[in-house]
Amino acid sequence: MFGLFGKNKPVKVRGNSGDRKYGVAAKNVKELIKKGCQLLQLPPSGARVCLYEDGTIVTEEFFPTLPDNSELVLLSKGQTWSGVLGDIGQLLSTDRHADALIEAAKDLLSDEKSPKRRKVLSDLLQNLEDRADAESREEDEDWFNGVDARFKTKSAYMKHNCESRIRGYMREVRRRAPIQRAKVKAEFLKTSQCLVEMLKNDKYNGNYFDRTEKESGRLCTKEGWFTCQGAFDEELCRSLHSINPYGSRESRIVFSTWNLDHRIEKKRTIIPALLDALQNHKTADINLDYVYQLLFTRANLKLVHIACHNKGAHNLLCDTSKICRFDE
């Protein structure tokens, strides 16, 4: 019985479901199954061991030839294993963690010791990237689950998503604190209408989330990756948060928790400064370009992960010399 009395061989064992792996040292398959079943709380009767990579059953004769720390799957009676592609395929079928799988696949492709694995992972990586690149409803129906039928492409929906956020900022401007003086109120309404017209001309800056736009006009890569720009008082995101909402439905939903954060705050600072300027000036005197940039553009907006969104006071002020035209 070749291999029954050899030295202990270290391997990594996991079950048919779940991805937790256990380090086990065994002299042979019989001992490996006994130890593995104890760790995974599986019945030993009818249990078998196979290669994680492709599902090949590990026999007593095959066991001594395995490299140390080989990845194996312990199967209960009646269970089967189709290999690494089947394992990752289960994840793909639910669209969970697709972006992370792309990066993991890229890392694993560097393992030149296993040509078969390289081929499997290369195919997987291509599949994931094809899905992320898919643009239309017909190409990726799951991504559009819950999205209004009028949106036929991912880019169209993402553009609308950004427009909706910017429109929301405009609504907040209009819902400012009550203005007592009639003349100031009238001028504020004129200013608000001017800002609306500027937004309409810029299509509410929806291009920020549209990966089909020119690089200078979008916040993402051409593949749809967004990177957190860090808290309002930091140059970069310390945690290097990133996300591709074009990649999967789950990522699209999670992206809704990311914020376009005003460095100089909208409610605490910009709107009060505008109201203060209108106390003694008309709309024609206001530097609308400067106010517009602060409220609705990347000049003052930072895309941030929810963990980097500081909701406390930012303590940054408008440049009062720029609010009125004659003060320039």
Instruction: Say if residue 79 is in the same domain as residue 110.
Output: no
Confidence (pLDDT) at 70:
86
Instruction: Say if residue 82 is in the same domain as residue 101.
Output: no
CA distances 262 to 28, 29, 57, 174, 305, Å, are 63, 62, 58, 17, 13
Instruction: Say if residue 282 is in the same domain as residue 197.
Output: yes
Q: What is the pLDDT of residues 45-69, one digit of tens each?
A: 999 999 887 778 899 988 888 888 8
Instruction: Say if residue 185 is in the same domain as residue 83.
Output: no
What domain range includes position 102? 94-129
167 close to 202: Cβ distance less than 8 angstroms: no
Instruction: Say if residue 168 is in the same domain as residue 285.
Output: yes
Q: Is 94's pLDDT higher than 50?
A: no
Decide which of 79, 112, 129 is a domain's last residue: 129
Tell me the CATH number at 84: 3.10.20.10
- The number of distinct structural domains making up the chain is 3
Confidence (pLDDT) at 117:
56
Instruction: Say if residue 174 is in the same domain as residue 114.
Output: no
Mean pLDDT computed over 196-214: 96
95 close to 249: Cβ distance less than 8 angstroms: yes
Confidence (pLDDT) at 310:
85
Instruction: Say if residue 179 is in the same domain as residue 285.
Output: yes
Instruction: Say if residue 174 is in the same domain as residue 286.
Output: yes
Mean pLDDT computed over 104-128: 55
Q: What is the pLDDT of residues 289-298, one digit of tens each?
A: 999 999 999 9
Percent of residues in the chain assigned helix, strand, coil, to nearest 5: 45, 10, 40
The CA distance from 10 to 72, in Å, is 11
61 close to 3: Cβ distance less than 8 angstroms: yes
pLDDT above 90 coverage of the chain, percent: 56
- In which band, very low, low, confident or very high, does the pLDDT at 126 lie, cut at 50, 70 and 90? low
Instruction: Say if residue 177 is in the same domain as residue 270.
Output: yes
The CA distance from 251 to 264, in Å, is 28
Tokens read off for 251: 């990522």
Lowest mean pLDDT among 42-51, 96-105, 146-155: 96-105
The CA distance from 160 to 5, in Å, is 67
Instruction: Say if residue 183 is in the same domain as residue 260.
Output: yes
- Please report whether residue 264 resides in a domain: yes
- In which band, very low, low, confident or very high, does the pLDDT at 211 lie, cut at 50, 70 and 90? very high
298 close to 261: Cβ distance less than 8 angstroms: no
